Amino acid sequence: MSKPVRVRFAPSPTGPLHIGGVRTALFNYLFAKKHNGTFILRIEDTDQNRFVEGAENYIEESLKWCGIIVDEGVNTNEKFGPYRQSERKEIYKQYAEQLIASGNAYYAFDTADALDAHRKDHETEGKTFIYNWHNRKKGRLVNSLVLTEVETQAKLDAGHDYVIRFLSPQDETLHLTDIIRGEMTIETNILDDKVLFKSDGLPTYHLANIVDDHLMEITHVIRGEEWLPSLALHYQLYDAFGWDKPEFAHLPLILKPTGKGKLSKRDGDKLGFPVFPLAYKDDKTGEMSRGYREDGYFPETVINFLAFLGWNPGTEQEIFSMDELIAAFDLDRVNKSGARFDPDKTKWFNHHYMQEQYNDDLAKSFKDMQPELADIDVNYVELVVALIKERANFVSDFWELSHFFFQTPTDLDEKAVKKAWKEDSPEIMTKVMTVLESVEDFTVENIQTELKGWITKNEIGFGKVMMPLRLALVGALQGPEVFDIMYLIGKDETKRRIENLVNTLGSK
Instruction: Provide the pLDDT confidence category of residue 441 given band limits of 50, 70 and 90.
Output: very high
Instruction: Provide the pLDDT confidence category of residue 507 given band limits of 50, 70 and 90.
Output: low
pLDDT score for 479: 94
pLDDT score for 72: 97
Q: Which of 501, 476, 499, 472 is nearest to 486 (CA)?
A: 472
Residue type, 291: G
Long-range contacts of 257-266 (CB under 8 A, 24+ apart): 257/340, 257/341, 257/342, 257/343, 258/340, 259/338, 259/340, 262/20, 262/338, 263/19, 263/20, 263/341, 265/18, 265/289
The CATH code that applies to domain 6-73+206-254 is 3.40.50.620
Predicted confidence (pLDDT) per residue in 185-199, tens digit? 999 999 999 999 998
Mean pLDDT score, 63-70: 97
CA angle, corner 116, sides to 115 and 122, nearest 5?
Answer: 90
Annotated binding site for ATP: 265
For domain 265-355, the CATH superfamily is Glutamyl-trna Synthetase; Domain 2 (1.10.1160.10)
Q: Using the predicted structure, report yes or no on whether residue 1 has a pLDDT greater than 70.
A: no
How far is 362 from 381, CA to CA, in rounded Å?
Answer: 9
Q: Which of 481, 484, 486, 483 is nearest to 497 (CA)?
A: 486
* CATH tag for 408-507 (out of 3.30.70.1140, 1.10.1050.10, 1.10.10.350, 3.40.50.1820): 1.10.10.350
Q: Using the predicted structure, report yes or no on whether residue 285 has a pLDDT greater than 90.
A: no
pLDDT score for 8: 98
Predicted confidence (pLDDT) per residue in 298-320, tens digit? 999 999 999 999 999 999 999 99
Contact between residue 340 and residue 255 where contact means Cβ atoms under 8 Å apart: yes
When mean pLDDT is compared across 14-23, 229-238, 284-293, the lowest value belongs to: 284-293
DSSP assigned state of 109: -
Active-site residues: which are they?
265
What residue segments make up the domains of the chain, in order of their start? 6-73+206-254, 89-197, 265-355, 357-400, 408-507
Mean pLDDT score, 482-501: 96
Question: Domain 89-197 falls in which CATH fold?
Answer: Glutamyl-tRNA Synthetase; domain 3 (3.90.800)
pTM over 0.85: yes
The sign of the CA dihedral 353, 355, 357, 363 is positive
How far is 159 from 155, CA to CA, in rounded Å?
Answer: 6
Partnered with residue 186 across adjacent β-strands are 174
Query: DSSP string covering 301-319, please?
Result: HHHHHHHTSSB--SSS---
Contact between residue 296 and residue 396 where contact means Cβ atoms under 8 Å apart: yes
Predicted confidence (pLDDT) per residue in 156-178, tens digit? 999 999 999 999 999 999 999 99
